[in-house]
Amino acid sequence: MRAIQVTRHGGPDVMAYGTAPDPIPGPGEALVRTTAIGVNFIDTYIRRGLYPSTPPYIPGSEGAGVVVSVGSEVTDIEVGQRVCWCDSAGSYAEIVAVDASRLVPVPDGIDDAAAGSSLLRGLTAHYLLDGSAHPSAGDTVLVHAGAGGVGLVLTQMAKNRGLTVITTVSGDEKAELSTAAGADHVLRYGDDLVSQVREITGGRGVPVTYDGVGADTFEQSLAVTAVRGIIVLFGAASGPVPPFDLQRLNPAGSLSVTRPTLAHFIADTDELRWRAGEFLGAVADGTVDVRVGQRYRLADAAQAHTDLEARATTGSTVLLPD
């Protein structure tokens, strides 16, 4: 099969397109021929060595495709079934062996590109609203990177739950996308961001700030969060937040900061499929619109990483095997 391999830790140039042995499904696994592969920031973190990995390896954890065979002990996934996944290593390949308990059936009405590049974002948005924080209808939340893959989905799901949503974006095109997703207030990054959020909220700030940007926005996240509010730091698109003195949370308003990861909110198969079912159901019925912003050939995965890290993408990014 054809696949991408990360040859060493580093920039996008360490990714090589070539051949690799076809995987063989073990007990409890299904073999899936990929039709679409999701590209996510966590792929870039692992490639750079921020998260543990041992090169050479095939990157990626998300995709969609058709089951071509199953190993022993698989009872709830069938050959020919359309499926998607978000936590299976080695997904930048034409064929992937996936633990069958981590596969999610793709509902009719959702195409492979959307399913293969949105499950991770949809599950992330789901646990951000119902897991790492629990904003109530009528609350106002701030979503950094409102035109990003998670930001667009999170905005729509937040609006469906009766929340007022403030987003931050970097330019006019992204502002239009965030507005179309339902954001009530779309702001630019900048020195006056804090005063704008405080003005919108009558000086109180927001009870929940969702920050997937990290280093560039964290100080502003602290400044815009209301007394007894929570900052959900779920990513580091601009780099990790430097070491932080927890005592600062006291004068800032008895704030809380959490650094969650999706894996802890979908560790159980039942919870995975509950969250996935709610998200994919919303996509299928049109309640949530998934925007596939970029499509690349599998061979061009390095360019996809370059564009993602330059924050030059919107919506989700997908690799398409030849």
Output the six-digit token pair for 71.
């190993």
Structure confidence at residue 194 (pLDDT): 97
Is residue 314 pLDDT above 90, yes or no?
A: no
Residue-wise burial string across 238-274, b where 16 or more C-beta atoms lie within 10 A, e elsewhere: beebeeeeeeebeebbebebeebebeebbeeeeebbe
Structure confidence at residue 112 (pLDDT): 96
Is residue 195 pLDDT above 90, yes or no?
A: yes
Q: Quickly state the pLDDT bin for 315 (edges 50, 70, 90).
A: confident
Question: What is the per-residue pLDDT across 109-126, written as a single tens digit (0 to 9) for each?
Answer: 899 999 999 999 999 999
3-state class of 192 per DSSP? coil
How confident is the prediction for the chain on average, in pLDDT? 96
Report, as an integer, the average pLDDT of 91-112.
96
Q: What's the whole-model pTM score?
A: 0.88
Question: What is the per-residue pLDDT across 237-277, written as a single tens digit (0 to 9) for each?
Answer: 898 999 999 999 999 999 999 999 999 999 999 999 999 99
Report, as an integer, the average pLDDT of 29-47.
96
Backbone angles phi, psi at 232, to 5 degrees: -100, 100
Report, as an integer, the average pLDDT of 95-108.
96
Report, as an integer, the average pLDDT of 286-306.
95
Output the six-digit token pair for 138.
């009528």
Q: Quickly state the pLDDT bin for 55 (edges 50, 70, 90).
A: very high
Q: Quickly state the pLDDT bin for 6 (edges 50, 70, 90).
A: very high
Structure confidence at residue 147 (pLDDT): 92
Q: Show the beta-strand stretches assigned E in 189-267.
A: 206-211, 225-233, 256-258
Residue-wise burial string across 6-31, b where 16 or more C-beta atoms lie within 10 A, e elsewhere: beeeeebebbeeeebeebebeebbbb
C-alpha 46/C-alpha 51 separation (Å) is 5
Structure confidence at residue 311 (pLDDT): 83
Report, as an integer, the average pLDDT of 46-57.
95
Report, as an integer, the average pLDDT of 62-88.
96
